[in-house]
Amino acid sequence: MSPTAQRFPSRRRFLLGLGLLTQIAAAPKAPVVTVLGDSITAGLGLPAKDAMPAQLQAALGRLGASAVVRAAGVSGDTSGGGLARVGFSVAPDTKVCVVALGGNDLLQGVEPNQTKANLRGILQKLKARGVKVVLVGVGAPPSIGATYAREFNAVYPALAKEFGAPLYANMLAGVRGDRALMQRDGIHPNAAGAKRIGEALAPIVARALKT
């Protein structure tokens, strides 16, 4: 084979490779959804593939809403902790942030007005950055005290209205109290419970991604 004939296949391979790289570079990247939360978001007691963020990503995929879901959960975190770290925990490429904080406020008896102020600070910071928000609430049981529960439960719909954010009122709705969906501690969902939460959140997050 002549040197000229040998050069042409190499050139064709080079051009084909260049074209493939160009297509990859031009392909749109999947939008990023960051879940800012506590131990449920962190997947306490579960492998990452079974935790709520991974379950949310899978559920979004089943809805045809391609997205990369990042877990930004810290076990034990309160709304105050979330406010302190929102600037670095929610990366600049985030399109939608699921704010799922307040469970530890409830466990620690934080005053509802303080929880509200902390969550408002988080939402303000995200709004200033142009990040869309899905707000996830926590249901306070009446057994904790009727007045406290009423004031705490009012925090999330009030903030959702103030910021025009979609709301999922109670993260553990349909999960808490069901032994088949909870870990032994009775606080954290197991893999099946995390899947239930992800599936419930997915339609709300999918709509936020489209806006």
Q: What is the three-class DSSP state of 190?
A: coil
Question: Are 101 and 78 in contact, with CB atoms under 8 Å apart?
Answer: yes
Catalytic residue, chosen from 2, 10, 143, 185, is 185
Residue 109: how many CB atoms within 10 A of its CB?
A: 10
Structure tokens at 101: 């904080």
- Is 39 in the active site? yes
Encoding tokens for residue 29?
A: 């990247």
Determine whether 185 is an active site residue: yes
Q: Which of 38, 89, 105, 188 is catalytic?
A: 188
The catalytically annotated residue of 38, 39, 77, 105 is 39
What dihedral angle (degrees, nearest 10) is formed by the CA atoms of 114, 119, 124, 125?
Answer: 110
**Has 105 been annotated as catalytic?**
no
Task: Enumerate the active-site residues.
Answer: 39, 185, 188
